[in-house]
Amino acid sequence: MSSQLIKFANEEFYAYPNSALYWKRLNIIIVADLHLGKSISFAKQKQFLPPYDTKETLTKLFNCINEYEPSKLIIVGDLLHDIFSVQSFQEKDHQNLNKYTKKTKFIWVKGNHDFNVEINGVSKVLDYKIDEIIFNHIPIKTKNFQICGHYHPKVKISHRGKSIYKSSFVNNDKLLILPSFGTLTGGLNIDQEPLKNLLGKNINIFPVGDEKVYKL
């Protein structure tokens, strides 16, 4: 997979088609909005979806760790979809989490979907800071740089009379928002509120393709 350089907060990050962000200098992987167990939540509401999202997303996450071998993984919110999400974990999922949390430090920034549930080996925090960068789920008013999730940004791309929406990394001078990492998540167009007002006009957009991340 081909990465895309994103210069932010006087640092160099690399965006990948799997929706992970790699901070090479510190060997840190950052992901957002896995929403594990979403199909289980929908099933409880009589909305039935293929129940494979947890397995697929965790496999994607573990493959990411295997490839980059990060010292730390930062999840900027919504690791889970709701309080029942852990019920979607198979025994193999628990075994793998135990295995990977022993080799990589997991930092889980609490998101609005992350209820009072704990996962062994995963450090759960309200926010996290490295140097001048704050890792939040939802952006706050601050003079610091922020890397966040929550909005699942996507961008409309038109070509030869056809339009498609692609998940996207997007940033302005102070804020970098990640696309959702989960396999069963929707998205918000960056031209819609509240993203439009939050980001302003001077923004960089990095749509996620199957094999590479582009820059518009």
pLDDT tens for the 216 residues of the chain, in order: 689 999 999 999 999 999 999 999 999 999 999 988 755 554 455 554 555 577 888 899 999 999 999 999 999 988 875 666 666 677 787 788 889 989 999 998 987 766 777 777 788 888 999 999 999 999 999 999 999 999 999 998 887 778 888 999 999 999 999 999 987 677 889 999 999 999 999 999 999 998 999 998
Domain residue spans in the chain? 4-207
Class of domain 4-207: alpha beta
Cα→Cα distances 169→56, 87, 101, 214, Å:
21, 30, 26, 10
CA 26 centroid distance within chain: 18
Q: Are 49 and 43 in contact (CB under 8 A)?
A: yes
CA 150 centroid distance within chain: 8
